[in-house]
Structure 1
Amino acid sequence: MLQSLARSVRATASYSPTASTSTLRPFSSSASPSFLFNRPKAPTANKLLKELDQAQKNDRLDLISKLYPSLVTESQSRPPLPSQLNHDLLQSVMRFVSRTNKFNLLLRIFNDLPALGFTPNHMDHHILLVGMASSGKLDKALKWIHAMKASHGMRPAPADWNVIINGYRQAGDLEGMRSVVDKMRKAGAEPNVVTFNSLISAAFELGQLSEVRKTVEEMASSGVTADLWTETALLTGFVEAGELGSAREVQRRLLARLKSGEESEGLDEAALNGLLKLEVVERGFGGGLELAERWRDEGRPLNERSLSTLAVEGAKGLRTVEEGVRLLEDLEDATGLAADRRAWSIVLQGLLAGPGGLPEALKLHQEARDRSIQPDSTMIQPLLTALLSPSSSASPESLSVAKELYDDLSQASRAYSTSPDHSIYITLLRACADPIHPDLDFSRTLIADMRERGVRLDGASAPWHIIALMRASSSYEEAFQAYDQIRALDVTALDQKAYNAILSAFTSLSFPSSPLSNSDDLTAPQLLIMEFLSDMRHSSPPSPPNSYTYSLLLTYYSRTSSASASQIAHLHSLLKLDINLDPDTALFNSLMGAYSRVGAFNAAYRVWETMLANSRNEATRVDQTSLSILLDTCGHDGAATALNRAERVWRDVAEGRVEGIEKRNRNNWEAYVECMCRFGRFEEAEKGVFEEMGVRGEPSPTSSTLEILLKMTRRGGDERWKSVRERVLREMPELWGEVKDVAPFGEEGDLQVPKA
């Protein structure tokens, strides 16, 4: 296999999307059914039930997702229900699903119970809470547990509350855990030893040792007796925190139990592993190995975690695959256990960190596969990370090796516990979007696999991967498909902000003319833009286009080579017809600016007048940006009426008669200077810069202000231009060195000090 891993990337067929609108989004639709003359008989409910039972025993989430809906359909369409369909079996399936990312499936099973003849009991509610907590739906879990008594006649037990508390622990939210404990007490359920053990473990995980000690004191004052898990959590936590003095106190208590024979009443593998961890820290790998051998001879209950505890220390400084294999064999001899995936993964990471690096780690992986060690994500992720480091572009050869590793992981087993996880897909998708060596064909394969396995990208990572794959695409259609395929994994992952970020990235792309375009323009096809807007309107939760969305499109389509007043008017009609839109000043400014850029000056003025007419509405009245856009529009218009408008508005603002603009900013002044120069009113422009700016609370000119003045005064001839240059040097020498002038024939160069 190692030789296969090292092969260069295989040639793949190039992708050529179809331009037909009828097949625009085939990846979001079901495949066309084929007609079968000999259609196979549908499996019976009894057969489906048997397969469902076997699927949950075999850790096959993919099969459960398909079999359960078929079982319900078949059972309800052909009564009576199968005699072997019982509540215990459904609860067993629910327990399995509750530990996965298929919460919707779990909720469906729960909701189907009455229709299948079973009344949901307390255990069903508990399992549902486990599913909510494991999938991060903590707010929903809290609402559910508060409603259990009123809606279902069931009083939540401490175990139910502990499920939610542990959910906050998984999220690293100790404050949230304590908040739930308070709610638990108010609801009449007292925290038990499991509650306090979770708080202790969370405090250790967050490095808050003072909180650990506070929780232990609170536990004692509440009359809750520490159990074996409490002592184990304290021992392990203190060892990992380097608090060896405290760890030895816990060690003495555990050893006392061991000598008194209490181990037969509960001293289990976890406690032994805690003691073993302390031994390794204090006496090194050799001391830990010696203790494990003694316990093995005494018949102590060592497990695979004992072996892993030793492997962590022994893997430090490994140089070659031979040393790694020898270490694992020594551990197997010392513990009497076979090294599992976890132990192999620890040794593999030790090799990656050592001088041998990736080549030796790949050899160890091959050795593990030769010994029939089933890989999982924990084993493969470090290799992928080393191969596809984000800090450097992944070569086609390294991506080829990564593909081989992924194929082996995904095909070796369909069990949920050994399937590729979220991090595997994120790493590979990032590599596929590499701008130097993109591989969009493989990204489509990954996304299809994710969809089949029910693996989703969260709301934070989904937009990132969509945008990265878009930028690696070779056409607008290919970029849109990258977006659409990832969106199809979970339509709830994108919110309004994410859609706008994706649309912004899409409109910033630049490709040759598109088959879906109506012209030779290089802009994004409007048909695809409309698909984006449609997705936003029909998203869940609702994320309809907002002012930012339309502002983005107005700016984009007013700057294209084919921009026209009719195109902007069409967008204007869309936003007027959008009943979900709440317009604001920024949107009106974008609309006014868009009309101005396409030469529809009268339409731009109407937008300004509309804003003035609605000046009592703070959300839509004019602001300083509106003023700059209006002045710029007047300057480009060039008509006498436009000059009159510019001068009138400028005067009204100065005299405080325009609600929404309390004072003029530097951008306003620069727009005014340029406007006056376009009309040949150079004296007014110079007066504004040299006499009016910087006095009576007005902003002072900067180098950019002077550059605009110098550039625009060329319209008045060389003599005027030279006169302004000399005035700048004479009156504003402190800005002279920062100013860049516009040299003859439009070439930019640094200002030179005029000769006397």
Structure 2
Amino acid sequence: MSLSRTVVRLRYPAGSFTRPVLRPSTLRRFFRVKRDQRRFLTTKHTSSLSYIPDVGIIVDKIRRCISTQNVGALHQQFYGLFRMLSGEGKDKHTTPPLTEGEIHNVLLSLASSGRHHDLDMVVKILLDLPMLCGAEVGVKEYNVILRGLIKNGNAQTILNWLMDMPQKPKNITPTLVQWHMFFEWCAEAGMAKLLHHSVSKMHRSGRRPTVKTFEILFKAHFDTGAPIKKFYDSLDLMDNNSLTYDENFANFLYDGFVKLGLADRAQEMKNVYWKRFSKKSRATDPEVIERMESIEREAEQNGIVAAVNLCKSLQRDGFTLVPHILTLLIRRTHRLDYLRYAEAELHIKASLIHWAILVSNAVRAGDLTGALSIYEESKSSGITPGAPLIHPIVNALCTTSSSLDDAAIDRALELYKDLAEAAPVPQFKQEQQPQPEHRHSPGPDANLYNILFRAFGVSKNVRKYFPIAHSLLEDMDARKIELSSPMAVASLAIVVMRCASSFDDALKAYKRICKRPNVPPIDAKGYQAILSTLTRLSFGHREKLPSVWHYFEVVKDMRTAGVEITAPVYTILIRHLALLSAELPREERDALAAAVRRAHDHLTLDPSFTPDTVLWNQLMDCYQRVGLFAEAYRVWEMLFITGRFNQASVAIIIDACGFANAWPMAAQVCLKLTKHGFKFNLRAWNTWIECMCRVGKLDDALKVVCLEMGKDQPNIKPDVNTVKVLLSFAARTNQQDEVMDRIKRYLPQLWHTLPTEINGYLIRERTAVVDPK
């Protein structure tokens, strides 16, 4: 039966449950639940009766899953294995059950799938690797995972994995080989834009690009016929990473353009490369460079002791040990004992830069406590606090979440105080010299103030930091430091707005900050933060709802400043009004509904902006949440007539019909959609099921789930969420047993995958582990 025929039938009172291939009397027998069949469903679950297979059985099943690449079954079997090895069977199994090669095959299969829960399982396996196969996590395992991710082909997932590697088991910094595996795949796939973006971000993982990295990038530009601007942008990126002139790369550039038949351009680019990078060329003996590289390679591959021994060996051969050697030895670690060992063995005193490397690596690995400990140890060792030491920690303390606690901000302020006292204002004035590009000032700089102001802006206790913000502004003036970031200006405006006593005061305070001398104009991101703050302001009973007038006064400022008005400008307000609908008492709903209508008026009367489907969907959802079903339906009709609706639009209007108890309207929506050949996705199907349940058609909803849902759509099947919807409404009439019995009869595969407890309902019969075969 098609969806349209189902809708036509369901527009009237529910009748018999029919299907062309089965007689109604037969179906009634199938769906009748006997008393003895309900008993197993309501008996309390006892975990001791569950069947727990032997480790050997689970391992055999894992091996079969590896050969068939059954990722779903791998999850099930590994959870059982973890339970056995760390729980009841922990003392019985001392020998690792799997080989390293088998684990590598498992990691490859999971990474090739690339879904979030598969990658979570990858991390879980890495954490328990010694227990599973007796091996330690190393570069080999991450190479296998990377090959799987590349096989999956989601470039953003690969980039995220490489960037987060320092925070994953063993805190391993991705190697150049691993980065280049990814870059070469990007180049072969023609993703030069993503490749450029990834190269610009890779330093955050603790690994900087090399000339070889840029050879891959420029080759991608050559292969894709990129415009000349892309080549200049990539040269800028080389410059930002402080690379030096390389004759081989110059020839590579020249040859690349010549092969494209652009000889004139080839000479031009070679000359540009020479002019920009020749002055940075290090007049260093190639043999010295080779020895430096060998020391760094030895430290990374074989550890600090082996690298220090190599340094001593080279020193005996006449090689001079310089402080930069310490940098090479600790570049990939945040272990303080490594630095202490290298200092003592090589008789080289660590400088602020070396301590800053350890701090940065600790922060990058997610060890903020360790970073603070290293910082305190540096002060005990006589290191004067400097920006390279303090910046990473302050940034980590102040950007860990959108709502910071006082302890984190207070600790950041203590670090700021250390830095300010190390470079006091009078000294700063006497030594006022221009700082080299891309370098921090000796004391607090604009970036540090920007971070602190942003932290004040999101603090729950903003009034506590309001006077501190003023004192920091005075300190900036004394040090002749100007606010350099539009976001910092916006953050200051947010602080004063949140400390205002009314919407009028908040608007005046925001304008005062914007008029401060020498502040940069607020950008789109800053304005969005200010608008978001404005929606959340509340000043007692009289001014509890967001002020739409004040909101659009800020929008007017945006337009005057030449900032483009985009969808988020309206989304921020509409989404917040929708959220308020669940919090406000019923007597305040009229005022909330009026605010939604006014926002809609601004949206339709704005000649500079054309709303997209996503924004219309949000407005439709907002209308239905505040109880204005008629307005929501009018938005839907506009979307349907113009053909601009999508799956989300359908789910929202069906949901609105259900809450408004407007079954005829829901049926009409579905009939029109089926006439247009529209196919529901899983979310729309589940919303349709919920709508039927909400208007009192539980029996019909259950029949649709068992016999009709996704019938002509191979990739659409009822899932756990579908069952949860049915059970939530069945509980109101004590029909849970009937629902579960029908699911078991008609959807046995789904029934076997359901969790033991759903919405408080216990499933009693399935205790044995299901064989994935």
TM score, norm. by length of structure 2: 0.47
Larger Rg over CA atoms: 1
